[in-house]
Amino acid sequence: MTDRFEKATFAGGCFWCMVKPFDELPGIERVVSGYTGGHKPNPTYEEVAAGGTGHREAVEITFDPAIFPYEKLLDIFWRQIDPTDPGGQFYDRGTSYKTAIFYHNERQKELAEKSKAELEKSGRFDKPIVTEILPAGPFYPAEEAHQDYYKKNPYHYNRYFEGSGRKAFIEKHWTVKKDDQELRKRLTPLQYEVTQNNGTEPPFENEYWNNKREGIYVDIVSGEPLFSTKDQFDAHCGWPSFTKPLSHAFIKERLDTSHGMIRTEVRSVYGDSHLGHVFDDGPEPTGLRYCINSAALRFIPKEDLEKEGYGEYKVLFED
């Protein structure tokens, strides 16, 4: 590891669910699932799950703080967990599933304590924040079968993510609270119809279908980063099309059987905005075509990323 990289270690319950939120983000070198906080060297999954080792399931993130600051990692961490649960996370109970931030230096400790205090003060939860902030110790990578589980076993991962109760908890506590009157004032009638009523704008008569400027697109409602012009291509369909999102952590997909068709709808995670649909007729390397409504997006050119609060994405456009 070169000098520019740091490590961040978070315990958030089942480590399967703690990789995807951080994976694919700029400045993230790797995310490893493993065990930490206990006393037994090189424990196995079975030993940790059985209890008695003192270890918790955790992820160790190697990141470049000059690109993706530790403060933003903390913000993502809090959005994945129930920080008020002292006995585990969702379906999973016991010490190995308890939450914690393991700090690697004094600055990380100070930032973690500050973010915890701010979350407590926000009133988002009606119970005390009990997530511990502890010094980092030895981290033992988990078995290969547990690494990148959401990629290797997407069907089982998605069933577990929903069945455990984590998905519903995140949606309840972190989806943007929408004031319909305020939204109608802030959005154009078309933007409102597309994002809130699952509408579709006319092809070839929308803002970004043939955009040639470099930058990223964010949700018009919530501001969460969604797509990059680096992944945009002309699908000759009249809507902006992309081979992949900036990160799968900010989009969700669901079955859409409207209009007598079977399609996969794409929505933003925290804004819960209707964005468009994804099809399997795209180009390499993904073979996918995310067909997205311009009306659901706000474009931020690369020269404005820093001042708009998306500075970590500048690296995408550097030679």
The phi, psi pair for 151, rounded to 5°, reads -85, -40
Q: Which residue has the tokens 């291509």?
A: 233
17 given a catalytic annotation: no
14 given a catalytic annotation: yes
Among 14, 61, 220, 251, the one annotated catalytic: 14
Residue 157: its H or E element: helix 154-163
Q: How far apart are CA 138 and CA 141, in angstroms?
A: 10
Strand partners, 297: 219
- With 0-12 / 13-18 / 19 or more C-beta atoms within 10 angstroms meaning exposed / middle / buried, residue 144 is exposed
Among 221, 266, 288, 291, the one annotated catalytic: 291
Peptide bond into 285 cis (omega under 30): yes
Torsion over CA: 175, 307, 116, 30 (sign): positive
Q: How far apart are CA 226 and CA 47, in angstroms?
A: 39
DSSP-assigned letters across all residues of 192-252: HHHHHH---PPTTSSTTTT--S-EEEEETTT--EEEEGGGEE--SSSS-EESS-S-GGGEE
Residues with catalytic roles:
14, 291
